Structure 1
Amino acid sequence: MTGQEATHTQRTPLSRARVLRAAVALADATGIEALSMRRLAQELDVVPMALYKHVANKEELLDGMADAVVGEIDPPALDADWRRAVRGRILSARRALLRHPWAARVIETRPVPTPAVLAYLDSIAGTFRAGGLSADLTHHVMHAMGSRLLGFSQELFDTSGPAGPPDPLMAVHYPHIAELAATAAHDGGSTVGGGCDDQFEFEFALDLLLDGFENLRRQGWTSERGA
Structure 2
Amino acid sequence: MPRDTLTRDQIVRTAVELLDAEGLEGLNMRALGKRLDSAATAMYWHVKNKDNLVLLATDQVWSELNLPDPDVDWRTAVTAMAVDLYEMFTRHPWLVQAFAAHVVYGDGKARHDDHTLAVYEAAGFNGTQADLAASAVFTYVLGNAAGAAATASLTRKLTRDDTTADEQFQEAMARAKEIAMDYPHLRARLETPAAADYAAAPDNSFEFGLQALLDGLEQRIAA
Q: TM-score, normalised by structure 1?
A: 0.73
1:127-146 to structure 2, matched below 5 A, reads 127-146=119-138
**Among 195, 207, 211, which residue is 1:207 paired with?**
211
Letter in structure 2 aligned against 1:51? M
Secondary structure at 2:65's aligned position in 1?
coil
Higher helix residue share:
2
**Among 184, 206, 216, which residue is 1:175 paired with?**
184
1:205 to partner: Cα distance: 0.9
Q: Is the 8 A contact 2:14 2:35 kept in 1?
A: yes
Letter in structure 1 aligned against 2:201? C
1:139 to partner: Cα distance: 3.0
Q: TM-score, normalised by structure 2?
A: 0.74
1:80 to partner: Cα distance: 2.9
* Distance in 2 (alpha carbons) for counterparts of 1:120 and 1:152: 19
Q: Which residue of 2 aligns with 1:196?
A: 201
Can you give the 5+ residue segments of structure 2 that lack an aligned partner in the other structure? 152-168
Provide Cα deviations, 1:197-219, integer angstroms capped at 9, x if missing partner.
Answer: 4x521111111111210111011
Q: Structure 1 residues 206 and 114 mapped into 2: Cα distance closer, same or farther (>3 Å)?
A: same
Secondary structure at 1:186's aligned position in 2?
helix
Q: Is the 8 A contact 1:129 1:138 kept in 2?
A: yes
- Between the two proteins, the alignment pairs up a number of residues equal to 199
Farther off after superposition, 75-84 or 13-22: 75-84
Q: Is the 8 A contact 1:66 1:107 kept in 2?
A: no
1:42 to partner: Cα distance: 1.3
**Among 104, 123, 126, which residue is 1:113 paired with?**
104
Q: Is the 8 A contact 1:94 1:151 kept in 2?
A: no
Q: Which residue of 1 aligns with 2:42?
A: 50
Secondary structure at 1:54's aligned position in 2?
coil
1:31 to partner: Cα distance: 3.1
1:22-37 to structure 2, matched below 5 A, reads 22-37=14-29
Q: Which residue of 1 aligns with 2:194?
A: 186
CA RMSD in angstroms, aligned pairs only:
3.3
Q: Is the 8 A contact 2:65 2:85 kept in 1?
A: yes
Q: Is the 8 A contact 2:8 2:47 kept in 1?
A: yes
Answer with 1 or 2: which has the greater Rg: 1
Letter in structure 2 aligned against 1:208? A
1:54 to partner: Cα distance: 1.5
1:118 to partner: Cα distance: 3.6
Q: Is the 8 A contact 1:69 1:103 kept in 2?
A: no
Provide Cα deviations, 1:73-99, integer angstroms capped at 9, x if missing partner.
Answer: 112334431111011011111222222
Letter in structure 2 aligned against 1:92? D
* Distance in 2 (alpha carbons) for counterparts of 1:117 and 1:214: 25
1:124 maps onto 2:134 in alignment? no
Letter in structure 2 aligned against 1:120? H
1:186 to partner: Cα distance: 1.4
Q: Which residue of 1 aligns with 2:154?
A: none
Farther off after superposition, 209-218 or 134-143: 134-143
